């Protein structure tokens, strides 16, 4: 079988870099173009010397994709730049996996509510499939436009889906207390990502209004028979480079116990290679650099609450790795192709 | 006024070291003895070279306190060793501030339930005052035995007391998602505190059964008119040396709004030097090395939940600093004596 | 004795913040003005919440010092802005301690060679005293303009002065391999101080051309009978917030041995409170937050080389603490006033 | 071609874990046995959950290798345990790559001088090939016993070999100032690897007497025409998990310049896939998780010294990766098989 031809649009941010790292190890694709608005003309490895001798391709201006025959492009662009790309290039020449938030919400109204701006290519929203393979595998296979899930929503949804899908919990009782490494804040230096401001530090941010909230509610809501899902979501910034851990709390609507909760998760994720239902609280280092999401679920008989914890690498299962998992589905490849290796621990 | 004479029993653990660091800066006391079972005979600064030239006293065996005239001793001993000390030495010769968990719970039964062992000096439990000055200032002044609060309970109780005391929240709805630096785990090397196992890592531990849970419930329960308080407490280990941050969630039993919640906190802590009600989510680095506890409180109108966050230095306000604050009360000194300086940030 | 009146010009960078932290604890001064070009009008603690409730003064425009009676000002300004300040305000109204590099080199020519620009107030260079108290105590007492040493030169000079002053080593053989925490790079976010770029990382920078090189050579040269001193200086960036450690290598010009080397250091620093000649290789955490510099010196009989190591906190003994030590000298106060407390370890 | 059969003896230390991580990705081998003295009978992934679902083999007692047909075993054992294994099992049944220091020095006398104990299988020392492929490729191919180089020596030798081999520097002038991440200190918790003791810390250790010194001198000496090589070696402990960086200084014995130095390195490593001669000082994060060693070389015309810097991942090119590179040579496979992927950065 000839290799599939793919491109990475916006290759110089963290998700772009990680896509290239992972695509390099993929046996069935050919990375034919990488683009950057600001760095076009430069050798990728001159900007990111970790790639020297491994991947030395030159960055192109985005317009160069007009002259390249591609099966699929990854958009690793900032929010809003993605929607312009889709508007300008459409879905006829290549399929698209968009890693931004532009096509994750299912209506232009919801987008406007949370992002405070109008969507510029709302007509594509209905075409987009939310690419969380463990929930949406079949739709993804045939999609021309995949909205790759956010890092926090991936973690949180995987930590809650078995409960919601089985109608075990009150959909209004969900709390997600999440903690993310700093690569989640992007590659542009800012005050809050200045090393001395974060070293030895820890704090919450984005309370009440984080844009990943409606994404969680929408996807979990789609699983629920019991009506609207509401999520209390509080993100925190961890002084590490990569890794997300989400601790969730919810109240049952049925009689539960620890064994039942655990069985629900084991059964729900029985055939999922990338979801490991672990029997001790998971740690972000146990998934570092890999596409695994480790999930733990328990029941507190004293307080009658379900507690679940999920951990993943925000740049892999929370972004680039999941995008490649989606690509594998779209190309009808084995789903774990190019993603099947152990985490980097220690 | 002549200086008060104090001793530190068990000076070689983290809380002992921190007591010595802080007592050194205290103008009104004289540190007349420091003891250690395993290191007696050694110069303190030979074990902890950061103190060289600053504090070079020799460690004594604990029995040496029999020959020293003391007003007060700090017990920086492991759990259970403290209760044996109190049993053996009583409260006649000096007052005691115990930094272990041995006298925090108000009954021998509760102790046995959570610590799984019998208390060996249960007759002293009733004499112990729980030394959280912001709640218990008056009792502390006259106490002969002070149970210095745990680091997690101090953080959590300060984050919740204004809500519970004013009967604003359902006492069964409280969730505390807490994150602590590694000094909280003590100074003895273990697998889970081995540097490569924690660097770049983050995880939860002690779910459902952490011994600080009943401490929170008991103290908050004492503030509540509305019946028994139940706390869902989940601690996590942060890859930093010092600092605790607790994020709490609760459901109201009255009509609330953001302003009312914030005013409740401002009013409750109006005269408290060490409690800073901040208007942005607090960070652990903003209190590093100091006795401050920064508290933030808000209201989510969408989910109708109160969210509060408190941050402190687990070795200072969470242990040694609070002990000195208690000592100041017991000696009728100005409460912030020796504790009045800025945090170390950056 | 009435308190001395001081000001901090440029209070919002890391050395400015640290000056305020330390001045707050100083019993004999009054901090009457703090200025900032960009943040004038704001409350200092609104920018740096760690100071809230401790130091809430408002930042003034620099011109406001015209209306304030001051004994001394600290310039915590960027390079070149300091020299303009000295040119504009002179030394008649207040004495000045400049924490920039503008008055450290002893000629305008040397300045131009290493800084690649002309000096704008060269007439003040001769008036400036290089404020390393352990070498220059007497001159500093009477100085109207003190050039506060750089962080790397302080560390390196203290590690080498006993050897050079006693003519024990070949002045051309000196190598300084130094490692600094990230606060040394300033408070402005840049690519190389972006958290994910430094976390888990380590590298050298500024090889051959770092501007602290001539400062070391000039000061050590002033101690040497044996002619010009040449220093091979290589700085590295450590993924920590504060701390500098310098490892030096040199060849003897006399018969040496370990005991002689150590005795030379013990004797040279015999009366120095802030220099601790330690008997194990020093660590940056043993001096964190303090004005101590720990120095270790040994001799390798196999290779016939002297190896010395010095560690200090770049923001304290390497900047603000040393400035206050200089101020104490200028005000004829006890030299350790306001600086006499233990490091923060752990 | 059928897969080669290999085993890992001592699989539960850091080099053992890393061997398994890397062998998992190797297409041409079969990992038929992993052993552990203390953990035999346990599932490997129960001890190291990052491997769960990836590699779940059970640990065997070492004696179990008697019943397994193997082409090669890796010894990831402590020093001295390796030499006993070789004594007991010999080289007839399988070839051996030993990752300990037991067979690196070329005589039992040298071993005794630096390790302070007698060698127990000295008769195998002559059979051992020092497995630094870039220097010793041909001998390694045919070796039955390979002494896999130490992490510091690999870094230092690669940083110096082009200079020594070309007789450009005085072999007595070499200084290596090296800095290592904490995994280099092994997986057993100790006081000096306790997280709070290292976090935010940095210091030198093992001055004058580190056992990697004779290894460097012996191997570089073998390259030199100019007589005995002497290395001044000072290791430091970095507060990161993985990565070594060595900065070297030496004096020329010929007229040199920056271009000549750089050309010497480019030419020496021209065909070496894993050695990247970089044009900026290298960083440890640019090689994280990979088998690359980045080398930088420059010349200071002012001081007339050569400065070179090398960076690698101590667990990969400094241990397990290099062992696999050696295995590929011994099996006549393409040298980079299983090792050809980008570093993990960020």
In chain C, what residues touch D311 (CB-CB under 8 Å)? 203
Residue D311 CA to chain centroid, in angstroms? 12
Q: Is residue A132 part of a domain?
A: yes
What phi and psi values does residue D280 have, to the nearest 5 degrees?
-130, 155
Enumerate the active-site residues of B.
151
Q: How confident is the model at residue B1 (pLDDT cuts 50, 70, 90)?
A: low
D240 touching chain B per CB within 8 A = yes
Asked, for residue D250, whether it belongs to a domain, the answer is yes
User: pLDDT value at position C226?
Assistant: 73
Relative orientation angle of helices A321-330 and A14-24, to the nearest 10 degrees: 50
State the nearest Cα–Cα gap between B243 and chain A, in angstroms. Answer: 8
Q: Decide if D339 is inside a domain.
A: no
Q: Is C231 exposed, middle or buried (0-12, 13-18, 19+ CB in 10 A)?
A: buried
Known catalytic membership, residue C151: yes
Q: Write out pLDDT tens, residues B178-219.
A: 999 999 999 999 999 999 999 999 999 999 999 999 999 999
Q: Please indicate, yes or no, whether residues D310 and D194 belong to a single structural domain of this protein.
A: yes
Range of the domain at D175: 152-314
Strand partners, A6: A31, A72
Both D186 and D325 in one domain: the answer is no
Give all strands (DSSP E) within C218-337, no chain letters: 231-237, 244-250, 275-277, 293-300, 305-312
Distance CA D255, CA D258 (A): 11
Instruction: Indicate if D253 and D276 belong to the same structural domain.
Output: yes
Q: Which residue of B has its CA nearest to D185?
A: B196
Closest residue in D to A196 (Cα) is D200
Between A and D, how many residue pairs show a Cβ–Cβ distance under 8 A?
Answer: 90
**Hey, is A19 helix, strand or coil?**
helix
Query: What confidence category does residue C15 fall into, taking pLDDT thresholds of 50, 70 and 90?
Result: very high
Residue D335 lies in a domain: no
- Tell whether C193 is within 8 A of chain A (Cβ): yes
Contact yes or no for D341/A49 (Cβ under 8 A): no
Query: d(Cα D235, Cα D208) in Å, to the nearest integer?
Result: 10
In a mutational test of the B interface, the residue from A114, A171, A177 whose CB has the highest number of chain B CBs within 10 Å is A177
Closest of D244, C240, B179 to residue A284, by C-alpha: B179
Strand A203-204 and strand A174-180: pairing?
unpaired
Both D307 and D324 in one domain: the answer is no
Residue A121 falls inside a structural domain: yes
Q: Is the dihedral of CA B156, B160, B165, B170 positive or negative?
A: negative
Average pLDDT score over chain D: 97
Residues B165 and B140 in one domain: no
| CA atoms of D98 and D114, how far apart (whole Å) | 19
Return the residue in D199, D201, D232 with the most chain C beta carbons within 10 A, the one to mutate for interface testing.
D201
Q: Is the pTM of this model over 0.90?
A: yes
Asked if residues B336 and B273 have their Cβ atoms less than 8 Å apart, the reply is yes
E-assigned strand segments in chain A: 4-9, 29-35, 72-75, 95-98, 128-130, 145-147, 174-180, 203-204, 231-237, 244-250, 275-277, 293-300, 305-312
- List the single best residue of D12, D17, D52, D238 to mutate versus A (max A Cβ within 10 A): D52
Matching residue, tokens 């272990």: B100
pLDDT of residue C1: 67
Question: How many CB atoms are closer than 10 A to CB C151?
Answer: 30
* Rounded (5°) CA angle A110-A111-A117: 130
What is the C-alpha separation between C165 and C328, in angstroms, rounded?
Answer: 25
Contacts of D177 in chain C (CB under 8 A): 177, 247, 249
Q: How confident is the model over A26-80, as pLDDT tens digits? A: 999 999 999 999 999 999 999 999 999 999 999 999 999 999 999 999 999 999 9
Q: Are residues A177 and A300 in the same domain?
A: yes
Mean pLDDT of chain C: 97
Q: Which of A151, A157, A182, A277 is catalytic?
A: A151
CB contact under 8 A, C343 and B285: no
Contacts of C343 in chain B (CB under 8 A): 50-51
**By C-alpha distance, which of C201, C277, C204 is closest to D177?**
C204
Q: Which among D54, D340, D346 is the nearest to A183, CB-wise?
A: D346
The token pair that represents A44 in the structure block: 């990728």
**A123 plus A158 within the same structural domain:** no
**Residue C21: both structure tokens together:** 């932290």
pLDDT in tens, C202-259: 999 999 999 999 999 999 999 998 789 999 999 999 999 999 999 999 999 989 999 9
Rounded alpha-carbon distances, angstroms, from residue D159 to A106, A135, D249: 56, 51, 10
The residue from C62, C77, C125, C151 that is catalytic is C151
Tally of structural domains, chain C:
2
**Same-domain status, B82 and B162:** no
Q: What is the pLDDT of residue B43?
A: 98
CATH of the domain at B173: 3.30.360.10
The answer to whether residue A343 is domain-embedded is no
Q: Quick check: A264 and A297 in contact, CB under 8 A?
A: yes
**Has residue A166 got a pLDDT over 90?**
yes
Q: Are residues D96 and D111 in the same domain?
A: yes
CATH code of residue B23:
3.40.50.720
- Whether A127 and A185 map to the same domain: the answer is no
Residues 6+ positions from C116 with CB-CB distance below 8 Å = none
Is A124 an 8 Å CB contact of chain D? no
Sheet holding A128-130, edge to edge: A29-35, A4-9, A72-75, A95-98, A145-147, A128-130
Please tell me the distance in Å from B58's CA to the nearest CA on chain D. Answer: 21
Specify the pLDDT at position C227: 81
D52: nearest CB among A241, A278, A315: A278
**In this complex, do C14 and B346 lie within 8 Å of one another by their Cβ atoms?**
yes
pLDDT at D226: 73
Cis peptide before D208 (omega within 30 of 0): no
- Smallest CA–CA distance, residue C174 to chain D, in Å, is 10
Q: Is the dihedral of CA B265, B271, B272, B275 positive or negative?
A: positive
Query: Which residues in chain B are closer than 8 Å to C283, comparing Cβ atoms?
Result: 49
Check residue D193 and report its DSSP letter: G
- Chain C residue numbers with beta carbons less than 8 Å from the beta carbon of D234 are 247, 307
Kindly identify which residue of chain D lies nearest to residue C232, measuring between CA atoms.
D303
Sign of the CA dihedral running D43, D44, D50, D55? negative
A48 falls within a domain: yes
Asked whether the beta carbons of residue D232 and residue C204 sit closer than 8 angstroms, the reply is no
How far away is chain D from the Cα of B183, in angstroms, using its nearest Cα? Answer: 6
Inter-CA distances, B1 with B20, B186, C33, D219, Å: 22, 37, 35, 71
C121 lies in the same domain as C55 = yes
Residue D89, pLDDT score: 97
pLDDT at A1 over 90: no
* CB nearest C341 (choices: B25, B343, B346): B25
How far is the alpha carbon of D49 from chain A, nearest alpha carbon, in Å?
A: 6
Q: Is D186 exposed, middle or buried (0-12, 13-18, 19+ CB in 10 A)?
A: middle
First vs last Cα of chain D: how many Å apart?
A: 37
- Hey, is the C-beta of A177 within 8 angstroms of any chain B C-beta? yes
**B271: contact with C, CB 8 A cutoff:** no
CA distance C306 to chain A (A): 34
Query: Do the Cβ atoms of B2 and B11 come closer than 8 Å?
Result: no
Q: Where do we find the tokens 């960055």? A: A59
Residue B69 token pair? 């005239």
Calculate the dihedral angle through the C-alpha atoms of C15, B313, A286, A30, rounding to the nearest 10 degrees.
Answer: -30
Using a CB-CB cut-off of 8 Å, the residues of chain D touching B189 are 189-191, 193-194
Q: What is the pLDDT of residue D1?
A: 67
Give the three-class secondary structure for A138. Answer: helix
Q: Between B183, B191, B195, which is nearest D198 by CB?
A: B195
Interchain pair C200, D285: CB under 8 A: yes
pLDDT in tens, D309-345: 999 999 999 999 999 999 999 999 999 999 999 999 9
Mutate to test the interface with B, among D38, D180, D194, D237 (most CBs of B within 10 A): D194
Window A:282-341, CB contacts with D under 8 Å: 282-283, 285-290, 292, 294, 315, 340-341
Which element (helix H / strand E) includes D234?
strand D231-237
Dihedral pair phi/psi, residue C211, rounded to 5°? -70, -10
Alpha-carbon distance of B141 to B132, in angstroms, equals: 11
Residue C210 resides in a domain: yes
Q: Are residues A205 and A282 in the same domain?
A: yes
State the best of B49, B280, B291 to mutate against chain C, taking most chain C CBs within 10 Å: B49
Cβ pair B85, B99 in contact under 8 A: no
> Residue A109: is it exposed, middle or buried by C-beta count within 10 angstroms (0-12/13-18/19+)?
exposed
Cα angle, residue A206 at apex, residues A205 and A207 outer, rounded to 5° = 95
| pLDDT under 50: residue ranges of chain D | none
Rounded to a whole number of angstroms, the distance from the CA of B147 to the nearest CA of chain A is 26
């Amino acid at each position: 079988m000839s290799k599939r031809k793919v491109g990475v649009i916006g290759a110089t941010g963290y998700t772009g870099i990680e896509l290239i790292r992972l695509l390099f190890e993929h046996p069935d694709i050919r990375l034919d173009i990488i683009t950057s608005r600001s760095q076009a003309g430069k050798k990728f490895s001159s900007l990111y010397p970790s790639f020297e001798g491994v991947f030395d391709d030159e960055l192109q201006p985005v317009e160069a994709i007009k002259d390249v025959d591609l099966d699929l492009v990854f958009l690793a662009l900032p929010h809003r730049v993605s929607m312009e790309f889709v508007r300008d290039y459409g879905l006829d020449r290549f399929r698209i996996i968009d890693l931004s938030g532009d096509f994750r919400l299912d209506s232009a109204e919801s987008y406007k509510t949370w992002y405070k701006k109008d969507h510029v290519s709302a007509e594509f929203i209905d075409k987009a499939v939310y690419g969380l393979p463990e929930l949406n595998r079949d739709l993804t296979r045939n999609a021309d436009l995949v909205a790759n899930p956010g890092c926090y929503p991936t973690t949180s949804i995987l930590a809650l889906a078995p409960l919601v899908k089985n109608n075990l919990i009150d959909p209004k009782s969900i709390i997600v207390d999440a903690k993310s490494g700093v690569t989640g804040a992007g590659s542009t230096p800012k005050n809050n990502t200045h090393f001395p401001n974060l070293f030895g530090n820890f704090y919450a941010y984005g309370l009440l209004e984080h844009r990943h909230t409606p994404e969680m509610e929408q996807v979990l809501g789609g699983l629920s028979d019991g009506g609207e899902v509401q999520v209390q979501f509080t993100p925190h910034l961890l002084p590490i480079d990569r890794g997300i851990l989400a601790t969730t709390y919810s109240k049952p609507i049925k009689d539960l116990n620890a064994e039942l909760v655990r069985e629900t998760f084991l059964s729900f994720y029985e055939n999922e290679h990338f979801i490991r239902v672990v029997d001790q609280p998971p740690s972000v280092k146990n998934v570092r650099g890999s596409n695994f999401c480790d999930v733990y679920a328990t029941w507190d008989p004293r307080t009658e609450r379900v507690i679940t914890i999920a951990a993943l690498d925000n740049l892999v299962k929370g972004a680039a790795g999941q995008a490649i998992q989606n690509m594998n589905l779209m190309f009808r490849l084995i789903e774990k192709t190019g993603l099947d290796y152990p985490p980097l621990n220690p």
